[in-house]
A = this chain, B = another copy of it.
Amino acid sequence: MEQVLTSTQIRQTIAEVFQQNMPFHQLIGLKINHYTADSVELSIQMKPELVGNPIHGILHGGVTATILDVAGGMMVFAQVIENMEHITEQTVTQRLQNLGTIDLRIDYLRPGRGQEFIATATVIRAGNKVAVARMELHNEQGEHIAFGTGTYLVG
């Protein structure tokens, strides 16, 4: 018999999977700090391998794009979960397999200097087929490093 789960339980499971079972997330050290129905916070510690330019010692723009893309995808999926009537591991897994980024825009505001980088996201268009999120990346001093906008297939 399949077990009905709360949205809190399923988000916790997803956060664990995204942090521990996604090889590229492990490679860059992506952490899920929290994940609720209407907010998500991801972070990454600066480490030598993530540097783009060794002279400036700044975060590679590809890491910025990665963490913002993931933040947006998790945020729109939180809304998918909230709108599901029957949450089981199976139904969530099905929906998660359909989740995909259609397009992504990153606006790089300033060089990625810092010890830690924190990504957050907000849903700006919710839908049962397509959703759009806006994302932000700040360093540990609150400096705003980048904005992102992502359009995701969710249905």
Contacts and interface: CB of A to CB of B under 8 A. Distances in A.
Taking residues whose C-beta sits less than 8 angstroms from the other chain, chain A's interface range is 35 or more
Interface string A105-131: 111111100000000000011010110
A66 B24 CA distance: 13
A22 B103 contact: no
B54 A27 contact: no
Copies of this chain, tallied across the complex: 4
B66 A132 contact: no
Given A103-B103, A149-B105, A65 B60 contact: no
A104 B103 contact: no
Contact of A130 (B54, B66, B130): B130
Given A48-B23, A49-B24, A105 B102 contact: no
A59 to B, nearest CB: 8
Given A23-B48, A48-B23, A102-B125, A62 B70 contact: yes
B105 A62 contact: no
List of 5 A-B pairs having minimum Cβ-Cβ separation, nearest first: A62-B66, A65-B65, A24-B60, A27-B49, A23-B51
